Amino acid sequence: MKRTPTLLFSLLIAVNLLAQPTQKPPLHGKNWMAITGKPLAATAGSIVFQKGGNAVDAACAMLAATCTMWDVLSWGGETQALIFNPKTKKVIAINALGVAPTGATVDFFKSKGYNFPPEYGPLAAVTPGTVGGLCLMLSEFGTMSLQQVLAPAMQLAAGYPIDAQTANSMERGKDRIKEWPYSSKVFLTHKGEKREAPEAGEIFVQKDLLQTLTKLVEAEQHALKKKKSRKEAIMAAYDRFYKGDIADEFVRGSKEQGGLITKEDLAKWKPVIEEPMQTSYKGIDVYKLQQWTQGPMMLQSLNILENFDLKSMGYNSPKYIHTVYQAMNLAYADRDFYYGDPAFPPAEPMKGLLSKAYAKDRAKLIGFEKNDAFAQPGDPYPYEGKTNPFTDLIKQRRALTDSEAGSGNAVPKHDQTAMLTEPASDEAYMDRLWRGTTSVEAADTSGWVVSIVPSGGWLPACIAGNTGIGMSQRMQSFVLDPLIDPFNVVEPGKRPRVTLTPSLALKDGKPFLCFGVQGGDTQDQNLVQFFLNIVEFGMTVQQATEAPNFNTNQLWLSLGGSKLADRLPKPGSLLLSNQTPAGVSDELKKMGYKITTGSRTSGPINAILFDWKHGSLWGGSSNNGEDYGIGW
């Protein structure tokens, strides 16, 4: 039976998107741009810019402010960044992700009955990375002192009018918050009342955090008085956090509540400056962090999609959605099995995974009649002249997901008895899929460009002692079974493979796009579509942030849930915008997709586009949250 043409629907959608005004206006700037997850935090970036700071200084100020405002993160979380250095014309990667502490072993977690490390509490914490990442970025690439950069955050800690989103999150999580005395002291300002968390607009004061930030500045200023250099003084603050009295209190407070982090864990950990991963899509160089994040998944997806004429398919046509969905599923299958901390053996086959030849062969697997519900990891090893040591594991995965075996999900055989008898509810699943963070994007007229996607220590957070610092919950992104991912099995000193994924793109050697998004496992799939919206369909940066995306759930979740069933892939699950024409949905249903619709199809995307023709900056901040930007 011949299918009804649906390209017309897609053309109409594209025309409407390009013709109608966006819900939020685009940002314009000639000298600088500062965008992040909270209006007050964007203001912190603008303050630093107005005082003469560069984009790194401003980005650090916004990072500090968002941590202080609990914008789905805290100071005890992790920071990931890409920086374009105009002096070297190179993109630099910052790895400030914490590591599993002493005692965090597979046997330890299994002895407590876990299928994954826990979502909340002290045992969910890796070592804090954000303070170290901020100090490293500022000392190496900024121009200002720590005191100058932290000034807005310290004012916020002294008291700021809390927003409804954060205040309500505290109230919703108050039962769990009450399990931790230091969290209860900070977050529940009206104990015993019907509403125990702060009200929207209430001045929220964090005395302990202010004291911690003050100690950092004191360490810097003391070093400067001793005639230390600017860099040395900033790193003196770093040392006080990871080796001094702040570390003492952090470890004491963590251990009191059952945590594993030791003073030695803090002292041994260090942020790292790395080479980023990179691919080229139609002449545009796209940069992501290494395989300790999911970032290379976007590069793999673009490599696969480069083999198709996406523009001719039409924006969000059934064929376009199907093609991008299939490409992302193939990339996610590789992410779920091959990504992990490159500092630990075995070595991930990233050369093969990112090769154009491998992508071309993966693209041949995409059929246009139906969804491939059993997309599996490929074999990238021959593309780097090696033999795959995990063939047997992949065969076990394929046996488990073979349709004839009656199983639609990859579950280790010995763990099948631990599965829930019924799948997790859609609401609980989507919470884990969408679980957010924030993003920080900054650029200046001197050429510095910064993209940061920090996270960790989100509400309801367990605060470590009297530091005011919420501990990370990133331990949950490890696995305990190598059949799920042999590269990402928990081990002391190891970094978990995270979803956090800042992005930069260069064109003709100059910055083209700086972009990031919140939303757990959906981050890179939404960024793939945002990028294609601009490159293939000619949208402005604001239009591209607001344009409807679609989401695949055919992947292993990286966050949340205590059972295998909580994280299993959902083959053919497809989230579409509720504005999608019925004809498009009908075509996709015929291809085997299980469709849900919603008004929100992406986390808040923040982006800066560089208009070299006119010598200006375009900023975009989507309408899916409180994210906000300021340009000048």
Q: Looking at residue 426, which CATH number applies to its domain?
A: 3.60.20.40
Cα–Cα distance for residue pair 70/345, rounded to 1 Å: 35
Token representation of residue 474: 């990133």
- What is this structure's pTM? 0.93
DSSP code for 579: T
pLDDT band, residue 7 (cuts 50/70/90):
low
Cα–Cα distance for residue pair 2/54, rounded to 1 Å: 58
DSSP code for 2: P
Q: Are 621 and 602 in contact (CB under 8 A)?
A: no
How many other CB atoms sit within 10 Å of the CB of residue 88? 8
Unique residue bearing structure tokens 């990238």: 380
CA-based angle 78:81:89, to the nearest 5?
A: 160
Tell me whether residue 461 is in a domain: no
Taking only the tens place, the pLDDT of each residue in 199-252 is 999 999 999 999 999 999 999 999 999 999 999 999 999 999 999 999 999 999
Q: Hey, which residues does 573 pair with through a beta bridge? A: 594
Cα–Cα distance for residue pair 441/276, rounded to 1 Å: 17
* Domain span including residue 326: 1-66+75-97+272-455+493-632
Nearest to 485 by CA among 501, 473, 496, 499: 496
* Structure confidence at residue 408 (pLDDT): 35
Q: Would the pLDDT of 101 be above 70?
A: yes
Give start and end residues of each alpha helix (H) in 120-180: 130-141, 146-158, 164-172, 174-177
Q: Hey, which residues does 431 pair with through a beta bridge? A: none
Q: Are 606 and 35 in contact (CB under 8 A)?
A: yes
CA distances (Å), origin 622, targets 74, 125, 199, 240: 23, 31, 26, 38
Token representation of residue 511: 């910055």
DSSP code for 440: E
Cα–Cα distance for residue pair 101/306, rounded to 1 Å: 41
* Structure confidence at residue 414 (pLDDT): 26
Q: Would the pLDDT of 407 be above 90?
A: no
Taking only the tens place, the pLDDT of each residue in 504-535 is 999 999 999 999 999 899 999 999 999 999 99
Taking only the tens place, the pLDDT of each residue in 145-203 is 999 999 999 999 999 999 999 999 999 999 999 999 999 999 999 999 999 999 999 99
Tell me whether residue 403 is in a domain: yes
Token representation of residue 166: 């954060």
Unique residue bearing structure tokens 């990402």: 488
Cβ-Cβ contacts under 8 Å for 193 (sequence gap 6 or more): none
Q: Would the pLDDT of 115 be above 50?
A: yes
Taking only the tens place, the pLDDT of each residue in 275-295 is 999 999 999 999 999 999 999
Question: Span 417-427, mean pLDDT?
Answer: 36
CA distances (Å), origin 71, targets 169, 456, 518: 10, 10, 11
Cis peptide bond prior to 345, omega within 30° of 0: no
Tell me whether residue 83 is in a domain: yes
* Structure confidence at residue 412 (pLDDT): 28
Poorest-pLDDT segment among 287-296, 394-403, 578-587: 394-403
Question: Span 91-100, mean pLDDT?
Answer: 98
Please give the single-letter amino acid code of residue 462.
Answer: C
- Number of residues that this document lists for the chain: 632
Nearest to 426 by CA among 603, 604, 596, 624: 596
E strands in 9-102: 27-29, 32-36, 79-85, 90-96
Tell me whether residue 538 is in a domain: yes
Tell me whether residue 20 is in a domain: yes
pLDDT band, residue 397 (cuts 50/70/90):
confident
* Structure confidence at residue 136 (pLDDT): 98
**616 — phi, psi (to 5°)?**
-140, 175
Q: At what angle do helices 356-363 and 296-305 cross, to 10 degrees?
A: 60
Tell me whether residue 203 is in a domain: no
Q: Hey, which residues does 506 pair with through a beta bridge? A: 285, 511
Specify whether the backbone of 227 is left (phi greater than 0), alpha (psi in -120 to 50) or beta: left
Nearest to 122 by CA among 265, 316, 294, 20: 265
Cα–Cα distance for residue pair 603/72, rounded to 1 Å: 13
Nearest to 378 by CA among 302, 300, 262, 448: 300
CA distances (Å), origin 4, targets 398, 575, 576, 590: 35, 22, 20, 12
DSSP code for 163: -
Tell me whether residue 380 is in a domain: yes
Q: How many domains does the chain have?
A: 1
* Structure confidence at residue 15 (pLDDT): 52
Tell me whether residue 242 is in a domain: no
* β 573-577/594-598 pair status: parallel
**556 — phi, psi (to 5°)?**
-80, 125
